[in-house]
Structure 1
Amino acid sequence: MDVLSDVVASLRSGRPFANREDRQGTWHTPFAPFAGAGFHIVLSGSCRLLTQDGAPLTLSVGDVVLTPHGTQHALEDLGHTDADGFTALLCGAYRLDRSQSHPLLATLPEVIHLRSQFGRHRSLHAAVSLLGSELQDPQQGSVAALSTLLDLLLLYILRAWLDDEADRGASGWSAALADPAVSTALSAMHEDPAHPWTVEELGRKANLSRATFARRFTQLVGQSPLAYLTWWRLGAAARLLKESDTSLERIAAQVGYGSQYAFANAFKRAHGISPGRYRRHHADDRHPTQWHPETGLTA
Structure 2
Amino acid sequence: MRIINVGCDHRHDADFSIERPEGSGDWLMLLVKTPAVFVTYKGEIGTEAGTVMLYSRGTPQYYRSDGGVFGNDWFHFMPENTEDERLLRELDIPFDTPVKLGSLSELTVFVSMMCHEHYSGGLYCTDTCDLLVKLFFMKLSEKLHRTADKGMGSSYEKMSVVRAKIYNDPAYNWTIEGLAHEMNMSRSSFQHSYKKLFGVTPMNDVINARTERAGYLLASTEHSVSRIAQMCGYSSDIHFVRQFRKVTGERPTEYRTRVRNKAENDRAEEVSGYEKENGGSDNSGGSAVRLRNGP
Give TM-score scaled by structure 1 length.
0.46
- The two structures have a TM-score, normalised by structure 2, of 0.47
